[in-house]
């Protein structure tokens, strides 16, 4: 990898972490303090603002739009919008522990799908580091595993749509030679549309309250606007990270956000914590460090012509799976938010 590419990857990872932590803080204030629990509808507004911002940027020639096959973009946008709604429903119908297990399951399912359909090979070192990471996040965040049939079905659908959506984000960018900005610009309207149509229903189902009957005070409107502005950065960085790295790396980054948010809650917000939480965060950080080390080492070997398998091999010439992005999958159930935007 060139130095410029490495700096770009580091920048995209940093932007993703910073914007995700910022939106968690903003949404925590909006939902928990100001009493605005309509997460799915809020996400549709995030995506509409993202599209409008990108449209203005395109008109000002900050980037050149690139036409993408209409059917692919529509299916891709609807799939990503559906995954957000399913994650919110999963959070609403499951316990915190089972929801966290749903989030953890995304990594191994992504690895499985990439192995089967994209013929990628993951080394034993990468698999071991991912296992350590998942173990640590599980120790830190999983509290209980109460099961119910509807919640389990919703979680399964959320895992499937999220995995396929993130794989497609990476695959479409590489196969069609489009940038993360171009793909987000093309797909954001469709993601926003499906959430705008279903959001009020989903939110009413989860909260037994109507978004249309809510009293919109000045502080609520202010935090909604702030949340939408931060979401532009979250959505952009999500597509950027997946496009420049891989869906698995993005999920690893998502668990780093979980650890940072938990640490933030413990140190600044004085949330209750135990030695188990601290131990889990330390184990997860160790797993992420191992994953980063092995990924960089194997990328260097690949660049030198070493035939060892790595987790981020070039895309194979196969048909994409037709079917981003943490609004806060890292937040607690009380926040009622299941994605980063």
Instruction: Give the tokens for residue 264.
Output: 């933030």
**What pLDDT does 25 receive?**
82
The span from the CA of 47 to the CA of 186, in Å, is 12
Which pLDDT belongs to residue 317? 32
Predicted confidence at residue 264, as pLDDT, reads 66
Q: Which tokens hold the place of 95?
A: 């316990």
Q: What is the pLDDT of residue 149?
A: 85
pLDDT at 201: 93
Cα distance between residue 271 and residue 224, in whole Å: 24
The DSSP string of 314-335 is: PPPS-----------TTS-GGG
pLDDT at 133: 86
Q: What is the pLDDT of residues 178-211, one digit of tens each?
A: 988 899 999 999 999 999 999 999 999 989 999 9
- Cα–Cα separations (whole angstroms), residue 164 to 95, 109, 223: 24, 9, 32
Strands (E), the chain: none
Residue-level pLDDT at 229:
94
Q: CA 319, CA 229: separation in Å to the nearest integer?
A: 35
Report how far residue 21's alpha carbon sits from residue 66's, in angstroms, rounded to the nearest whole number.
31
Given this model, what pLDDT does residue 78 score? Answer: 92
CB 326 within 8 A of CB 340: yes
For residues 288 and 130, what is the distance between their CA atoms, to the nearest angstrom? 8
Count Cβ atoms within 10 A of the Cβ of residue 215 and give its class: 0-12 exposed, 13-18 middle, 19 or more buried: exposed
Q: How far is 43 from 144, CA to CA, in rounded Å?
A: 27
Environment class of 234 (CB within 10 Å of its CB; exposed 0-12, middle 13-18, buried 19+): buried
Are residues 144 and 97 in contact, defined by beta-carbon separation less than 8 angstroms? yes
CB 163 within 8 A of CB 108: no
**How far apart are alpha carbons 86 and 27 in whole angstroms?**
19
Provide the pLDDT for residue 273: 67
Per-run averaged pLDDT (10 residues), the chain, 341 residues: 63 80 85 90 95 93 85 92 89 77 86 89 90 86 74 91 92 88 92 94 92 94 95 87 77 73 63 75 84 81 55 36 36 44 47
- Report phi then psi at 105, rounded to 5: -70, -15
Nearest C-alpha neighbor of 189 from the set 154, 241, 235, 238: 235
Rounded CA separation 102/87 (Å) = 9
């Amino acid at each position: 990898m060139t130095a410029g590419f490495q700096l770009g990857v580091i920048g995209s990872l940093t932007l993703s972490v910073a914007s995700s932590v910022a939106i968690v803080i903003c949404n925590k204030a909006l939902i928990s303090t100001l009493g605005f629990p309509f997460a799915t509808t809020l996400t549709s507004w995030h995506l509409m603002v993202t599209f409008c911002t990108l449209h203005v940027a395109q008109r000002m020639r900050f980037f050149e739009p690139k036409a993408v096959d209409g059917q692919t973009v529509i299916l891709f946008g609807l799939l990503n919008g559906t995954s957000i709604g399913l994650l919110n429903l999963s959070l609403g119908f499951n316990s915190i522990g089972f929801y966290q297990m749903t989030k953890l399951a995304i990594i191994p399912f992504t690895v499985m799908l990439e192995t089967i359909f994209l013929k990628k090979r993951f080394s034993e070192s990468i698999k071991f580091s991912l296992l350590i990471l998942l173990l640590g996040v599980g120790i830190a965040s999983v509290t209980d595993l109460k099961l119910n049939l509807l919640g389990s079905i919703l979680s399964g659908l959320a895992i499937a749509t999220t995995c396929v959506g993130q794989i497609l984000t990476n695959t479409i960018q590489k196969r069609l030679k489009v940038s993360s900005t171009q793909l987000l610009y093309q797909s954001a309207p469709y993601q926003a549309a499906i959430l705008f149509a279903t959001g009020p229903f989903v939110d009413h189902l989860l909260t037994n309250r109507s978004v249309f009957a809510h009293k919109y005070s000045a502080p609520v409107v202010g935090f909604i606007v702030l949340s939408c502005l931060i979401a532009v950065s979250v959505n952009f960085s999500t597509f950027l990270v997946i496009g420049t790295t891989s869906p698995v790396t993005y999920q690893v980054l998502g668990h780093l956000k979980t650890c940072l948010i938990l640490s933030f809650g413990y140190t600044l917000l004085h949330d209750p914590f135990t030695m188990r939480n601290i131990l889990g965060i330390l184990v997860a950080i160790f797993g992420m460090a191992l994953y980063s080390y092995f990924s960089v080492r194997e990328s260097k070997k690949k660049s030198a012509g070493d035939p060892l398998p790595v987790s981020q091999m070039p895309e194979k010439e196969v048909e994409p799976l037709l079917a981003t992005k943490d609004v806060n999958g890292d937040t607690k159930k009380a926040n009622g938010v299941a994605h980063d935007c």
